[in-house]
Amino acid sequence: MSQEQDQHNLVVEELYAESHEWHVNAGEETIHAKRIQGKFRTLKWLAAATWVLFFIGPYMRWNGDQAILFDIPGRQYHIFDLTILPQDVWMLSLVLLFFAILLAVVTTLFGRVYCGFFCFQTIWVDAFTWIEGKLEGAPGKRRKLDKAPLTLNKFWIKAQKHFAWLLISAFTGLSFVAWFTDAFQLWVDYMTLSASATEWGTLALFTAGTYILAGFLREQTCLWLCPYARIQAVMLDRESLIPTYDFNRGEPRGRLSKGETVEGNGDCIDCNQCVAVCPTGVDIRGGLDEGCITCALCIDACDLVMDKIHKPRGLIRYESIDALEGKHVPPLMKRSRVLVYIIIMTLAFGGIIYGLLNISGLEIKVLHERQPLYVMLSNGSIQNKYELKILNKTHDDMYVTVTTGGLDGVELIGAEEPFLARPGKVTPYTVYLRLPRREMDGSSLSVYFQLQGVEQPELRSTYESMFLGPR
C-alpha cells in the first residue's frame, strides 16, 4: 500500500472516529459545534468585525460633541452635523423601511444571510463559544466536562468562562447605554455610582439578556424566540440561493469501505462533519430546516471532506432548490418579487436623500393671532400680530434675522434686532406687520417670513402666511 493511500486511510479513519459524536439537535443538550477553517468561517469573522462600530461608535467626536447621540430625554437625535427632531421622524421611518426591505431582498436572494453573518445573537454566541473552546477544549472534551461531577478544577474552569461571559455582557450593556448619553461621562457616572436609575436598569437588563441569550439559550433563541425565523418562510422561495445539499450527487450516501467509495454510492460518505460544525445542530442533508441560519459553515466542512477523499468540492453549496431539481431559474432582475422590493427600496432611498438635502438647521413656523384678526391704528394703518416659532436644530446658540416679503409697503415691527435661538429648542417671538389702508386691496393678502442665521447665512427657512384686513 502506498504512503499516499496510508495517509488517505488515516484521514478517513479520523473522520469516522468522531462521527458518532455528532447528531441532530433536538434541543435536549448544549450544542458544542466544531470549529474549522474555511472561506465562510473567515467571512463570518469579517462580518462580525463590523460590530466593533457598536462598541467604539459612542466615543466618536464631531466638532467637540458626540458624533452620534440618540438623546431620548431631549427628544432629538444628533448624527454628525444633523439634528433630527420629532418633526423629522418621517425620515427615520423611511430609513427603517429601507433596511426592512433590504433585509427582505437579501433573504429572498440568499436566505438568512443576516442571521448567519451579521445578527448580534449569532455573533455573540460565536464569541462566547470561542471563549468556551479556549477554556474547556474541543467539543468532545466540553461534553465530558459538562457530564463530569463538580470538582475544584471543573469549578475553576467554569468560573473563568462565566466571568469572561459576564464581562462581555456588561460591556455590551454599557456600550448600548452609551449611544443614548454622553459616553465618557457615562463611565464616570458608573464608576462613581452616580448613574441614573434608567442607566443602571438598562445596563442590568442588557447584561443579563446577553449573558442568558448568548451563553445559555444560544440557538434556542433563534429557534423559539426570534420572530424573524418565523417569517423567513414567507420571504424564501424555491429560487433563493441558500446552502443546499446536492442530493443528486450525494445519494445514496454510504460510508467508505477500506477508504474507498462503495460501488453505486453517492459522494456523501456519511461522516457527519456538516452536522458537527453546525451551530444550530441541523443536518442540512434533510433539506431546508427552520433551524438553519445559512451560516454556510457546513459548506466549509464538506469541502474539506471532499478534498480529503479527492472528490470535487460543492456537495453542499449555495444553490436554489429549483436549480438542483433541474428547473429553469430566471435571472435576478426578472423575478417579480425582487423587482417590487427594489422599487420600494428606491422610493425609500429617494425620500431619505430628499430629506437629507432639504433638512435645515433652522426652521420657522408662524402663527397668526386670531383674537383679533387685525386692528385699525389711529394713522389708518392695519396691524396684524404673529407669533414666530423659531427652531434651532444645531448644537449651539444662534442669532437669526427675520424679514418679510411678497407684500409691498408692509412694515415689520419687533424684528429690528436679531433674535437669539436656543439650540435644539423652539424659541417663540412676537412680531407685528403694518400696512397702510390704501395698500389693502382685498381682505386677505399673502406674505412670507424669512429666517436666516447671522453667522451662518446658508441656514435659512421660509414660511408663508396671510395678512388680514377689512373687506
Helical residues (DSSP H) of 386-425, grouped into ranges? none
| Choices 136-144, 242-250, 254-262, 444-452; region in contact with ligand SF4 by CB under 6 A | 242-250
Q: Which is nearer to ligand SF4, 25 or 452 (CB)?
A: 25
Q: Single out the residue of 106, 126, 129, 123 nearest to residue 54, CA to CA.
A: 123
Q: How far is the CB of 280 from ligand SF4 (least distance, A)?
A: 5
Stretch that binds ligand SF4, among 90-98, 265-273, 380-388, 413-421 (CB under 6 A): 265-273
Measured from the CB of residue 319, what is the shortest distance to ligand SF4 in angstroms?
12
Q: Which residues contact 115 (CB under 8 A, 6 or more apart)?
A: 122, 222, 226, 228, 229, 293, 294, 295
The site map against ligand SF4 for 290-329 (x = CB under 6 A) is --xxxxxxx--xx--x---------xx-------------
Among 91, 282, 345, 362, binds ligand SF4 (CB under 6 A): 282
Nearest-angstrom CA–CA distance, 171 and 169 = 5
- We find the least distance from the C-beta atom of residue 19 to ligand SF4, in angstroms, to be 8
| Residue 126 in grid coordinates | 460565536
Give the interface size with ligand SF4 as a residue count (CB under 6 A). Answer: 28
Q: By C-beta, is 296 or 468 nearer to ligand SF4?
A: 296
When binding is defined by CB under 6 A, the residue of 88, 270, 322, 396 that contacts ligand SF4 is 270
From 38, 139, 173, 243, residue interacting with ligand SF4 (rule: CB under 6 A): 243
Q: Which of 213, 278, 338, 390 binds ligand SF4 (CB under 6 A)?
A: 278
Dist. CA 22–CA 10, nearest whole Å: 20
Q: Where are the alpha helices (DSSP H) in 297-430?
A: 297-308, 321-324, 336-358
C-alpha cell at 235: 420571504
CA 60 remoteness from chain centre: 19
Q: Residue 317 CB: number of other CB atoms within 10 A?
A: 18
Asked if 252 and 261 touch (Cβ cutoff 8 Å), the reply is no
Query: Cα(206)–Cα(199) distance, rounded to whole angstroms?
Result: 11
User: Could you tell me the smallest distance in angstroms from the CB atom of residue 120 to ligand SF4?
Assistant: 17
Q: Which stretch binds ligand SF4 (CB under 6 A): 280-288, 361-369, 399-407, 420-428?
A: 280-288
CA distances to 49, 168, 176, 186, 257 from 55, rounded to whole Å, are: 11, 11, 8, 14, 52
- Minimum distance of ligand SF4 from residue 238's CB (angstroms): 17
What's the min distance (Å) between Cβ of 45 and ligand SF4?
Answer: 15
What are the grid coordinates assigned to 27, written together? 434541543
For residue 95, the minimal CB distance to ligand SF4 (Å) is 30
Is residue 271 part of the contact set for ligand SF4 (CB under 6 A)? yes
Q: How far is the CB of 176 from ligand SF4 (least distance, A)?
A: 27
| Backbone phi, psi, residue 428, to 5° | -90, 145
Q: Shortest Cβ distance from residue 296 to ligand SF4 (Å)? A: 5
Residue from 284, 391, 400, 415 that binds ligand SF4 (CB under 6 A)?
Answer: 284
- Residue 390 is a binding residue for ligand SF4 (CB under 6 A): no
268 binds ligand SF4 (CB under 6 A): yes
Pick the stretch among 182-190, 194-202, 285-293, 344-352 that binds ligand SF4 (CB under 6 A). 285-293
Residue 178 · residue 58 · CB < 8 Å:
yes
Is residue 229 within the footprint of ligand SF4 (CB under 6 A)? no
Query: Taking CB under 6 A as the rule, does residue 272 contact ligand SF4?
Result: yes
Give the Cα separation of 456 and 392 in Å (integer).
12
Residue 14 CB, shortest distance to ligand SF4, in Å, is: 13
Residue range at the interface with ligand SF4 (CB under 6 A); choices 117-125, 157-165, 269-277, 460-468: 269-277
Q: What angle do CA 222, 155, 215 make, to 5 degrees?
A: 10
- Per CB under 6 A, 400 contacts ligand SF4: no
What whole-number distance in Å separates Cα of residue 330 and Cα of residue 239? 8
Other beta carbons less than 10 A from residue 422's beta carbon: 13
Q: Which among 240, 236, 233, 242 is positioned nearest to 329, based on CA atoms?
A: 240
What minimum distance in Å lies between the beta carbon of 293 and ligand SF4?
5
**First-to-last C-alpha distance (Å) of the chain:** 113
Q: What is the C-alpha separation between 253 and 418, in angstroms, rounded?
A: 83
What single DSSP character describes residue 267? S
274 counts as binding ligand SF4 under rule CB under 6 A: yes
What is the contact surface with ligand SF4 in residues (CB under 6 A)?
Answer: 243, 245, 250, 268-274, 277-278, 280, 282, 284-285, 292-298, 301-302, 305, 315-316
